[in-house]
């Protein structure tokens, strides 16, 4: 290929962490104005490659060219100067500061003046958002805004620094459908204006929609670079997983005995403005999918059931007995567990080991005398690591060292290990790779088969359709419809119900 057309060329990139080879002679070329997807399983090396391009990590061997010139990037600052902007998988924004302050945080504008030139950064932020076609008030504190707006603010921040290359690491992991559309339109416009975009994603549908080309990494090796027009989804999945697999998640009809009393019964629950008169029941062994748009009250309902948000009226019953839910301690005491949606507060202790993070929720069961039963603990941790294929050099590695998707698996493993009677999972597979998605669905079925109730909230409809026995659709805080899974013909039917269009 004509190298002059390349905005970025990375050649022969090698990187190891304590003897562990994470990138092995990786080549990567990014053309001007293209959207190039970087794909691969959890821990394949995507973020590491991008952190090298971002000046966060040094490379052990290899070369980087930007616009045809050799560069050595010693720091984020140098990479930024060279025109590389990154939207981090874990956000780099400060919640207590305003949007505008975040957009100009750590940039030259501030460094040069020492004083925050508030007026000009607000004006400039407003211009950038206008260009992006996004409506955000630059004076809002970050903490008041939802995840989608954090994402967009990160992009604005990169654009404020005149990025020519934009790296988006799983940008849609926690976005609702209409926000995804907003982001896609923005990506299209940016690419058309000549900005080159590297897009990391685990979602097959969006890879094919958005990208011109794809590069797949597997265990630190580049295994594929090609235009997407020449590939089928099955080709991509095969490159990622390393063998032929059926990329689609399959629904398996399960039989649930609903003759007896329900395990969980929610009666006319209202809380704040987001949960209005919600009633549903779940029998032991049942998997309930909660569908709805962002803001439809799914997360709020989950938070009520876990005792985080106060209940205004209505009752919750377990095995027919009314329970009090004044705190999450109340919820845990009656066997309810929640895997929350927000990674930032998911409660991993990053500097602690994978093993300790997995066991933290079940110390009681493992305690023998004053000391943790070491052998039993290690066996439990090892089993969870294996079940969820957590990619870690050792159970003793600090969890903060794992890739994003593998951290997510530890969060899930942590709660699976507690053996709750009712497990609520809010967007459980966001950021998890295709191979592991089906494993997580298997674990959910195992729990249900063991007589638990599992409530799954997911914006990914294929996943929701694969896992649920019954789907409850929420809209503006109320139940819009309830489906037996077999009543739903396809994704489109469910999509219409979610949008509030009756079929």
Ligand X SMILES: Nc1ncnc2c1ncn2[C@@H]1O[C@H](COP(=O)(O)OP(=O)(O)OP(=O)(O)O)[C@@H](O)[C@H]1O
- Which stretches of the chain bind ligand X, using CB under 6 A? 17, 22, 40, 42-48, 391, 401-406, 433
Residue closer to Mg ion (CB basis): 16 or 232: 16
The torsion angle over the Cα atoms of residues 186, 187, 190 and 191, rounded to 10 degrees, is: -150
What 8-state DSSP symbol labels residue 141? B
The answer to whether the beta carbons of residues 421 and 335 sit under 8 Å apart is: yes
250-276 burial, b if ≥16 CB within 10 A, otherwise e? ebeeeeeeeeeebbbbbeebbbeebbb
Is 404 a binding residue for Mg ion by CB under 5 A? The answer is yes
CB of 298 to Mg ion, least distance (A): 26
C-alpha–C-alpha distance, residues 75 and 58, integer Å: 9
Residue closer to ligand X (CB basis): 52 or 128: 52
Using the Cα atoms of residue 374, residue 380, residue 386 and residue 389 in order, give the sign of their dihedral. negative
Tokens describing residue 94: 């400060």
Residue closer to Mg ion (CB basis): 85 or 404: 404
- Binding segment for Mg ion (CB under 5 A), chosen from 39-47, 51-59, 112-120, 477-485, is 39-47
Residue position matching structure tokens 């990160």: 154
The answer to whether the beta carbons of residues 35 and 192 sit under 8 Å apart is: no
Tokens describing residue 183: 């982001």
Please report, as residue ranges, which positions from 229 to 248 form the binding site for Mg ion (by CB under 5 A). none
Tokens describing residue 192: 């058309």
277-302 burial, b if ≥16 CB within 10 A, otherwise e? ebebbbbbbbbbbbbbbbebbbbbbb
Residue 340 interface partner, choices Mg ion, ligand X, none, CB cut-off 5-8 Å depending on type: none
CB of 217 to Mg ion, least distance (A): 10
CB of 342 to ligand X, least distance (A): 17
CB of 74 to ligand X, least distance (A): 17
Q: Which residues contact 371 (CB under 8 A, 6 or more apart)?
A: none
Kindly state the helix (H) or strand (E) to which residue 149 belongs, with its residue range: helix 147-160
Residue closer to Mg ion (CB basis): 174 or 403: 403
CB of 147 to ligand X, least distance (A): 17
Residue closer to ligand X (CB basis): 190 or 216: 216
Residue 176 interface partner, choices Mg ion, ligand X, none, CB cut-off 5-8 Å depending on type: none
Using the Cα atoms of residue 286, residue 281, residue 496 and residue 207 in order, give the sign of their dihedral. negative
Residue closer to ligand X (CB basis): 52 or 275: 52
How many Cβ atoms sit within 10 Å of the Cβ of residue 224?
17
Residue 269 interface partner, choices ligand X, Mg ion, none, CB cut-off 5-8 Å depending on type: none
CB of 89 to Mg ion, least distance (A): 5
CB of 403 to Mg ion, least distance (A): 5
Residue 40 interface partner, choices Mg ion, ligand X, none, CB cut-off 5-8 Å depending on type: ligand X
Q: From the list 7, 28, 47, 73, which residue makes contact with Mg ion (rule: CB under 5 A)?
A: 47
Residue nearest to ligand X (CB): 405
Residue closer to ligand X (CB basis): 32 or 401: 401
CB of 274 to ligand X, least distance (A): 31
Residue nearest to Mg ion (CB): 47
Residue closer to Mg ion (CB basis): 80 or 343: 343
- Binding segment for Mg ion (CB under 5 A), chosen from 22-30, 201-209, 253-261, 404-412, is 404-412
Residue 395 interface partner, choices ligand X, Mg ion, none, CB cut-off 5-8 Å depending on type: none
Under rule CB under 5 A, how many of the chain's residues touch Mg ion? 3
Q: Which residues contact 237 (CB under 8 A, 6 or more apart)?
A: 204, 245, 247, 434
C-alpha–C-alpha distance, residues 413 and 384, integer Å: 6
CB of 91 to ligand X, least distance (A): 15
């Amino acid at each position: 290929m004509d190298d002059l057309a390349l905005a970025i060329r990375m050649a022969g990139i090698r990187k190891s962490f304590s003897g562990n080879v994470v990138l092995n002679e990786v080549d990567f070329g990014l053309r001007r104005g293209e959207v190039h997807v970087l794909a691969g399983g959890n821990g394949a090396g995507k973020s590491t490659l991008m952190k090298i391009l971002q000046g966060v990590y040094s490379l052990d061997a290899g070369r980087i060219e930007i616009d045809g010139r050799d560069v050595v990037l010693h720091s984020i600052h140098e990479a930024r100067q060279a025109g590389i902007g990154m939207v981090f998988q874990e956000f780099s924004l400060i919640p207590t500061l305003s949007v505008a302050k975040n957009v100009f945080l750590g940039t030259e504008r501030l460094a040069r003046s020492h004083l925050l030139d508030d007026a000009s950064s607000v004006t400039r932020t407003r211009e950038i958002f206008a260009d992006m076609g996004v409506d955000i008030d630059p004076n809002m504190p970050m903490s008041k805004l939802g995840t989608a707006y954090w994402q967009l603010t990160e992009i604005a921040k990169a654009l404020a620094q005149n990025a020519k290359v934009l790296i988006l690491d799983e940008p849609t992991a926690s976005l609702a459908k209409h926000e995804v559309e907003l982001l896609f339109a923005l990506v299209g416009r940016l690419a058309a204006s000549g900005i080159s975009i590297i897009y990391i994603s685990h979602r097959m549908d969006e890879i094919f929609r958005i990208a011109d080309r794809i590069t797949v990494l597997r265990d630190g090796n580049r295994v594929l670079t090609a235009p997407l027009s020449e590939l089928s989804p099955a080709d991509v999945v095969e490159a990622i997983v390393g063998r032929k697999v059926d990329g689609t998640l399959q629904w398996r009809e399960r039989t649930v005995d609903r003759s007896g009393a329900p395990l969980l019964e929610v009666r006319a629950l209202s809380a704040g403005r987001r949960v209005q008169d919600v009633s549903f029941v779940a029998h032991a062994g049942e998997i309930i999918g909660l569908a709805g748009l962002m803001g439809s009250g799914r997360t709020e309902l989950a938070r009520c059931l876990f005792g985080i948000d106060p209940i205004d009226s209505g009752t919750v019953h377990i095995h027919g007995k009314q329970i009090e839910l004044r705190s999450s301690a109340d919820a845990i005491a009656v066997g309810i567990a929640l895997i929350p949606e927000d990674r930032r507060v998911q409660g991993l202790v990053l500097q602690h080991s994978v093993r300790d993070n997995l066991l933290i929720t079940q110390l009681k069961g493992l305690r023998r005398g004053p000391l943790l039963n070491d052998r039993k603990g290690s066996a439990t941790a090892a089993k969870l690591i294996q079940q969820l294929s957590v990619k870690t050099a050792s159970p003793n590695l600090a969890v903060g060292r794992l890739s994003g998707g593998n951290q997510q698996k530890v969060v899930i493993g942590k709660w699976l290990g507690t053996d709750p009677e009712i497990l609520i999972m809010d967007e459980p597979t966001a950021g998890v790779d295709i191979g592991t998605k089906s494993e997580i669905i298997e674990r959910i079925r195992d729990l249900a088969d063991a007589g638990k109730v599992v409530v799954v909230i997911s914006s990914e409809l294929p996943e929701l359709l694969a896992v649920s026995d019954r789907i409850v659709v929420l809209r503006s805080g109320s139940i819009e419809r309830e489906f037996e899974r077999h009543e739903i013909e396809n994704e489109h039917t469910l999509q219409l119900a979610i949008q509030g269009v009756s079929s």
